[in-house]
């Protein structure tokens, strides 16, 4: 039997298969007005198509815990009840298709207040709905980004509470799984890495201090997230720096701690916290990081990164390198990738009755 199309149990949630969709920002929410940060028709159609296509679990794109936590003014958010009601339409449809709805709770830190990628993605100011980014230290991401404001200890605690409040709203919105975004150079990743965290207080310096904020967020979310529902954490396994950054060794060590704090799965990506680094792109280039965490810790893992065809995905799971695969670009290209993969592997996947003539 195909490993890719076996169910996966996490706490009291069963994901019908191991074909998962990672969070991919659509930059399509209203930047101002009463619907700011709320999912719109584009989001409903986008996620609905992948659910109808047989995807087992969909992680809704980075959803900010505060207005300042957005990457761009066009990002999703979950800091008010208007957003909650808009998300319910999506989670109802996904659940009705047999897909497990998850959401990534995020704060973008020093990489906030930028334009949409197809507009260049450059930092923007108040005249374009922008704002002043914040970070663990007043260190800009690169020469094009502004120097962020350094968070005070009281502000750090406010952000921790914002994550908890966002988790409460995610539950009310109908999500079955919450994922904490600790990757790609955004706020939690900025605290973890000595490349971006130059603090000298209890949130900087040593490994224990640099991981403090992340664990406080995990604890705050886990406290309000029901025991029967899983909690994920997305991590950049490495900054891809030879020295002075977060490393794969750090990731393995941290996986043990996250597991002890109630995280149920590590979503293993890489990079994003240091500009100008050379990343050796290639098929499955991040899978070895996931495989190492799985081999050296008790944490289940999902692998991501140029996983494109059914045989490749099947081999990753059959070899025990990961418990699930996350397909990004492939699911953008082909919303029904799961159905096609099932046919190739001689497996079965749920097909909506309206689409039975296509089987």
Interatomic CA distance for residues 105 and 61, integer angstroms:
9
Secondary structure class of 121 (helix, strand, coil) = coil
Catalytic residues, by residue number, are: 186
- C-alpha closest to that of 305 among 294, 295, 316, 293: 316
Give DSSP secondary structure letters for 24-50: -----SBSSSTTBT---HHHHHHHHHH
Residues 223, 170 contacting (CB under 8 angstroms): no
Which residues lie closer than 8 Å to 64 by C-beta, 6 or more apart?
A: 37, 70, 71, 75, 76, 77, 78, 79, 106, 107, 108
Interatomic CA distance for residues 341 and 336, integer angstroms:
9
Tokens of 357: 């003539």
Interatomic CA distance for residues 108 and 90, integer angstroms:
24
3-state secondary structure 199-260: CCCCCCCCHHHHCHHHHHHHHHHHHHCCCCCCEEEEEECCCCCCCCCCCHHHHHHHHHHHHH
3-state secondary structure 155-202: HHHHHHHHHHHHHHHHHHCCCCEEEEEECCCCHHHHHHCCCCCCCCCC
Which residues lie closer than 8 Å to 261 by C-beta, 6 or more apart?
A: 215, 218, 219, 222
Interatomic CA distance for residues 211 and 283, integer angstroms:
31
């Amino acid at each position: 039997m195909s490993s890719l199309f076996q169910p996966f149990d996490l706490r009291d949630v069963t994901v019908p298969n191991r074909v998962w969709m990672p969070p991919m920002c659509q930059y399509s929410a209203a930047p101002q007005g009463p619907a700011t940060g709320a999912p719109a028709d584009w989001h409903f159609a986008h996620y609905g198509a992948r659910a109808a296509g047989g995807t087992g679990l969909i992680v809704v794109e980075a959803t900010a815990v505060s207005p300042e936590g957005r990457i761009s003014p066009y990002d999703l958010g979950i800091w008010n009840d208007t957003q909650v009601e808009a998300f319910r339409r999506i989670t109802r449809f996904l659940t009705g298709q047999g897909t497990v709805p998850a959401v990534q709770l995020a704060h973008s830190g020093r990489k906030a207040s930028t334009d949409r990628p197809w507009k260049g993605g450059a930092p923007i100011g108040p005249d374009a709905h922008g704002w002043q980014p914040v970070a663990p230290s007043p260190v800009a991401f690169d020469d094009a980004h502004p120097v962020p404001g350094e968070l005070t200890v009281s502000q750090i605690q406010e952000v921790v509470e914002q994550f908890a409040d966002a988790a409460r709203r995610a539950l009310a919105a109908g999500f079955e799984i919450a994922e904490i975004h600790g990757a790609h150079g955004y706020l939690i990743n900025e605290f973890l890495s000595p490349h971006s965290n130059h603090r000298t207080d209890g949130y900087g310096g040593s490994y224990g201090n640099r991981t403090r904020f992340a664990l406080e967020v995990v604890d705050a979310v886990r406290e309000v997230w029901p025991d029967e529902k899983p909690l994920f954490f997305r991590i950049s396994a490495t900054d891809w720096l030879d020295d002075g950054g977060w490393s794969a060794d750090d990731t393995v060590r941290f996986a043990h701690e996250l597991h002890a704090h109630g995280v149920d799965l590590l979503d293993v990506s890489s990079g994003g916290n240091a500009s100008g680094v050379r990343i050796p792109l290639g098929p499955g280039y991040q899978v070895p990081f996931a495989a190492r965490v799985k081999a050296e810790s008790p944490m289940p893992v999902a692998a991501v990164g140029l996983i494109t065809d059914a045989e490749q995905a099947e081999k990753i799971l059959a070899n025990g390198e990961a418990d699930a695969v996350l397909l990004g670009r492939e699911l953008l290209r082909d919303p029904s990738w799961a159905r096609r993969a099932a046919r190739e592997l001689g497996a079965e996947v749920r097909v909506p009755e309206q689409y039975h003539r296509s089987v």
